[in-house]
Structure 1
């Protein structure tokens, strides 16, 4: 194989890996934010419930 062909193949593989890494990172960050929002919503609901229970007693 020609030297240029090998460089093109290696470059294409590296580009694919870079794109895959970028996409995976974005998906991971999105899921992390969704989890944090879910815990925040749960925290708000627990605080509301605690306030209601405290008002009853």
Structure 2
């Protein structure tokens, strides 16, 4: 993925598809941020793109 796309990926209505709406990652990022989860996107033209979601560790509570 070209580097100029990476900075725009989570902006609403940005799409690289001709018929894309551009809301998928924008909505995903909003949900992820609301739950204190980290979303990261790493991309290299030779090896591809990796999207990671890191969930916080929450101690187990018995009921």
Per the normalisation by structure 2, the TM-score is 0.28
Question: Looking at CA atoms only, which structure, 1 or 2, has the larger radius of gyration?
Answer: 1
Higher helix content, 1 or 2: 1
Higher strand content, 1 or 2: 2
Per the normalisation by structure 1, the TM-score is 0.30
Q: Which has the higher contact order (CA 8 A, sep 6+)?
A: 2
